[in-house]
Structure 1
Amino acid sequence: MARWTERLSRFHRRGAGAGATAFGESRFEDQRWRRAEGAARRFALWGGLLGVVVALIVWAPAAWLAGWVADATGGRVLLAEARGTIWNGSAVAVLAGGSGSREARALPGRLRWTLRPAGAGFSLMLEHACCLNGRTELRLSPGFGSMTTRLVAAPVQPDSGGQWIGQWPAQWLAGLGTPFNTLQLGGALRLTTPPSGLTLRQVQGRWLVEGGASLELIDVSSRLSSLERLGSYRLDLAGDPASGGARLDLATLDGALQLSGNGQLGANGLRFRGEARADGDPAALSNLLNIIGRRDGARSVISIG
């Protein structure tokens, strides 16, 4: 009897040990499964967030680019009715007088753009049937507290002294407000660059200029004068290595209204001094000379900055 009791006791001890082992293994498997489930949830969460970020980048609306342009120009250049994405989109190009201004002028047709990564920056290709010479490229290179914008030269035009970038109606300037809305200019504005193009670098609010550009005002007219044509003019912008800024030179190509002057674009902003005179009939240009600048006898003194 004692022998059978001992055997039964050993059997129960072995059964209890096996049960404890099975229970321990079950708890270990449960913990491992819970850890795997938690990792899967975290992976799904981060994957979902990454997908949202990628979708926002790929499908970022064109309105975001329009907002950046408005902020960067103080509300003077607007991309109205923006459609598409920041990578491929279009909008109506508008000049305005800035925040709070009621003045605005739009160009005909739509400005179209394509934005692509290029090296450490981006390449912005612009097309506008009314005003640009084919496709115009801007290369944008953001940095720490800086932004570099390079206007890449367009193909050489046989009848031009440089690279013709674009041509716009002078009436467009009325959108900037005073004094252009009063002058109501007619004619055309043509932008050209040398083969080296034009590079603008903004560093902590300071503008640095490399290369150059010329803005020609062709066959200008104004409602303030009885003359059908005032003349043609050229404003040259050239980088100044000494200051890092740029020199400005205004000259008359031909016409009854004679304009001249020079200035500097640098750390302190724009400073320009010039004058306007009548070549011929002063009475036909009197009202215009009063608006252009401060009258000093037969001339009108132009002072900016």
Structure 2
Amino acid sequence: MVRRLVVRRPRGRRFANSMAPTGWGDSTYAETAWERSRSAATRWSVFGGLLGLLIAMVAFAPAEWLARAVGSATEQRVLFTDARGTLWNGSAVVVLTGGAGSRDASALPGRFEWSLGFAGTGFALKARHACCLNDTVTLRLKPGFGRFSATLVPPPGWVGQWPSALLSGLGTPWNTLQLGGHLRVLSPGLTVEWVQGRMLLDGALDVELMQASSRLSTLDTLGSYRLSLVGNASRPGEPSQVRLITVEGALQLSGAGTWTANGFRFRGEATAAEAHAAALSNLLNIIGRRSGARSVISIG
């Protein structure tokens, strides 16, 4: 009997193919995508929060911001005190001063009220002041690259009127003259534009001093006067014209000047009606440089 010898070979260990998918790579990609998504969500959340904060700051900006802007633009000669409300709707007491450090000041009666809103590509500022403005006066404000313009949209008739005594708050020479009477402003429309630091005017504006008086004269009234400004920005190279005339009165004022990007220049004179020469002599010495019977006025 022959036995068959069967040799059994040991079975070797079988290792899994290292390239076989295990799910680890997919998990890593998913975690990376999730991290990126979370980072993006965080960034958008922060951006949204900052944007909301900015909108809230603008929407509820205090009226004091406008008050500071007015004071800075006028070199502290016009102040908005006791400002209330917001930048968009507010009120304040208007005070005229002689500038920083001056002790002279005059407060206008009542409260000046304003509302600011969007209008086309700019803003519309509507102002009301029961004592001094004729109904509602509108200013159209239009910012731009390197330029800014303000256009007066006046109500029918006069724009505003104020007691002349308020000018004493502006300091010298008004505090010396101590004027009586009243000021009135009229305009069919005026645009003031600032272009790269230069101021341009287009339109017209009249300032009338009616029934003026002064503590430097014994006369009850000196007269009535009109200062006219005609802007010519729409005609390049032609300066804006300024003219002063006497409407009526014992004190005769006249003069002319120009307003250009380089500044304001004015030349005029003051004389007295013959019957009132003695009563006006002291005032003529104050108004300008005395030259015989005339007082020469020179600005710029």
Q: Give TM-score, length-normalised by structure 2.
A: 0.89
Q: In structure 1, the residue corresponding to 2:22 is in which secondary structure?
A: helix
The answer to whether residue 298 in structure 2 is matched with residue 303 in structure 1 is yes
Report what 1:191 is aligned to: 185
C-alpha distance after superposition, 1:13-59 (max 9, x if no partner): 49x988x7244443333323222221111111111111111111111
Corresponding position: 1:288 with 2:283: yes
Partner residue, 1:215? 207
User: How far 1:99 sits from its partner (Å)?
Assistant: 2.7
SS state of the match for residue 64, structure 1?
Answer: helix
- Alignment of 1:201 with 2:196, yes or no, is no
In the TM superposition, residue 221 of structure 1 has moved relative to its aligned partner by: 1.0
1:150 paired residue number: 151
Paired residues for 1:1-305 under 5 Å? 13=16, 21-155=22-156, 163-194=157-188, 197-240=189-232, 241=235, 243-279=237-273, 280-305=275-300
User: Alignment length, in residue pairs?
Assistant: 291
The whole-number CA distance in structure 1 between the counterparts of 2:27 and 2:231 is 78
Aligned match of 2:5: none
Identity of aligned residues (%): 56
User: In the alignment, residue 173 of structure 1 is paired with which amino acid?
Assistant: L
Letter in 1 for 2:164: A
Letter in 2 for 1:120: T
After superposition, the C-alpha distances for 1:157-200 in whole angstroms (9 at most, x for unaligned) are xxxxxx31000111111121110011111111000113xx1111
- Alpha carbons 1:104, 1:174 under 8 Å: kept: yes
- Report the equivalent of 1:159: none
Q: Which has more helix, going by share of residues?
A: 1
Taking only aligned residues, the RMSD between alpha carbons, in angstroms, comes to: 2.2
Query: 1:158 — aligned with what?
Result: none
Structure 1 residue 222: Cα displacement: 1.0
Opposite residue 293 of structure 1, the aligned amino acid is G
Paired AA for residue 27 in structure 1: T
Distance 2:282 2:10 in 1: 131
The residue type equivalent to 1:179 in the other structure is: P
Unpaired segments ≥5 residues, structure 2: 1-7
2:9 & 2:76 partners in 1: Cα distance?
A: 103
- For 1:126-175, what per-residue CA distance to the aligned partner results, in whole angstroms no more than 9, with x for missing partners? 000000000000111122222211111312xxxxxxx3100011111112
After superposing the two structures, state which structure 1 stretch, 99-108 or 269-278, moved more.
Answer: 99-108
- State the structure with more CA Rg: 2
**Deviation sequence 1:224-276 (CA, Å, 0-9, x none):** 11112111111111123363431111111111111111111112211111111
**How has the CA–CA distance of structure 1 residues 3 and 283 changed in structure 2, closer, same or farther, with 3 Å as cutoff?**
farther
User: Closer, same or farther in 2 for the Cα pair 1:144/1:24, shift >3 Å?
Assistant: closer
Supply the AA of the counterpart residue of 1:211.
Answer: G
Conservation of the 8 A alpha-carbon contact between 1:137 and 1:152: yes
Query: Which blocks of at least 5 consecutive residues in structure 1 are unaligned?
Result: 156-162
Distance 1:4 1:35 in 2: 52
**Superposed displacement of residue 4, structure 1:** 11
- Counterpart amino acid of 2:299? I
